[in-house]
Amino acid sequence: MAERERRGCTAFLRAVTLGYDVCTRLSLALGAVQFGRLGHMTHCFGATFGAATASAALAKLNATQVRHVLTYAAQQASGLSTYGRDLEHVEKAFDFGGMPARNGVTAATLVASGCTATDDVFTGERNFFLAHDESHRIGRTPDPGALVRDLAQRWEIANTNIKRWSVGSPIQAPLDSLIELMRTERFGARDVDHVVVRVYTSGARIADDRDMPDINMQHLSTCSTSAR
């Protein structure tokens, strides 16, 4: 979108910052953890809205147009946790990045081309939050107030982390630690008898001896020492 609109680096970074804020706030409003446990993918839901608002900012859309962009984002919001069954881990890339980016750009370009939409998809009869209300299953209703709570005071992009390794999140810290040990202590695979890795419980469920190599803790720990 930045290239399409011939926008500079500063405009691009401002749009990314906005996208992170909207993405996270939308996920929090849905109840990210509980919502995700039901099989919904907040990575897709939130990121669609984040990409849409970032694209809208780059297209210099006005307030009314941005409202319409959010409506088109809501119409495309989807995502299922079944991606984890793909042993090649390719579907995850589509779900977490490709699909939300496509959805966001589509929403912004539709409005920029003159398409109209509902002015406020988050309130009123049969709105977005009512449609995705899972309170009967998770014991809490959506929290629309999270969209604006501490707005311009708390910047969600500052609360994110960066994956150094292209592997599952629970394996990031263990690999960082292993590589640092190897750097400072100068050892390789032949010097290692066994490795004990301790991670948080939910992280262990994700990464313990999985079929997918890039989220398999044992496989990646062995590869790291062998590569050295």
CATH number at residue 22: 1.10.4100.10
Q: Is 201 inside a domain boundary? A: yes
Instruction: For the chain, give the percent of residues with pLDDT over 70.
Output: 98
Number of domains making up the chain: 2
Regarding whether 205 and 107 lie in a shared domain, the answer is no
Q: What is the pTM of this model?
A: 0.86
Regarding whether 89 and 41 lie in a shared domain, the answer is yes
Q: Is 217 inside a domain boundary? A: yes
Which range marks the domain in which residue 135 is found? 9-159
Regarding whether 221 and 175 lie in a shared domain, the answer is yes
* pLDDT tens digit sequence for 85-142: 888 888 989 999 999 999 999 999 999 999 999 999 999 999 999 999 999 998 889 9
Report for 1-5, 38-42, 177-181, 218-222: range of highest mean pLDDT? 1-5
Q: Which residues contact 49 (CB under 8 A, 6 or more apart)?
A: 22, 23, 26, 70, 73, 74, 77, 104
Q: Is 4 inside a domain boundary? A: no
Query: What does the chain come to in residues?
Result: 228
Q: Which residues contact 74 (CB under 8 A, 6 or more apart)?
A: 49, 121, 122, 128
Q: Is 175 inside a domain boundary? A: yes
